[in-house]
Amino acid sequence: MINKRPQVSLSRPKELEMELFNRRKIKEDGCWEWTRSCGSKGYGQWKIEYKTHSVHRLSAFLFLGFDLSSDLCVLHKCDNPPCFNPDHLFVGTYKENTDDCILKGRRVFAPNAKLTEEDVTIIKKRLQKGETQTAISRDYRVDQTLIGFIHRGVIWKHVC
């Protein structure tokens, strides 16, 4: 007979907590890094009761009283996606998550920003000099992908 680990359940939080503790690596900065499966953006993932959960949301559920069905976000103070230390987590709205992302320099986005031909000429010169797309996007308060499109000639082809 094969010894299988018992299935964890959201209805048995103490068992879930122990399994979380068994699947972490504690870093010098206090982060509890998930040691198992992670998604494409680095966030820990764990399938429980036929549903995949983000591990930092599970941690907020266990230690912060977070409702897993909530539309609210669980944000990281440490900016370390695999971290699930509840001391590094806080709950916020989608807007607060976006603002936090922008404040920490992970995303620069201005939905009403419009570049002029003069802006694009300068951007192209800066790219030729080797400046990074990220640095340029911050200066113009646009998403880096827009600068990438300009660089590859996907848009603004007619501007030299």
Spans of all domains in the chain: 13-103, 108-160
- Tell me the pLDDT tens digit for each residue of 124-151: 999 999 999 999 988 888 888 889 989 9
- Select from 1.10.10, 1.10.357, 3.90.75, 2.60.40 the CATH code of 13-103: 3.90.75
Q: Are 102 and 112 within 8 A, CB to CB?
A: no
Using CA atoms, how far apart are residues 30 and 2, in angstroms rounded to an integer? 37
What's the pLDDT band for 97 if we cut at 50, 70, 90?
confident
User: Which tokens hold the place of 21?
Assistant: 């503790």
Query: What is the chain's alpha carbon radius of gyration, rounded to the nearest angstrom?
Result: 21
Cα–Cα distances in Å, from 100 out to 36, 54, 103? 26, 19, 5
What does pLDDT average to over the chain?
Answer: 88
Region 29-40: what's the mean pLDDT?
94
CA 18 – CA 30 distance, rounded (Å)? 18
User: How far, in Å, CA of 142 to CA of 21, rounded?
Assistant: 41
**Is 6 a residue whose pLDDT tops 70?**
no
**What's the count of helices (H) and strands (E) in the chain, helices before strands?**
6, 6
Q: What dotted CATH number matches 108-160?
A: 1.10.10
Global model pTM greater than 0.75: no
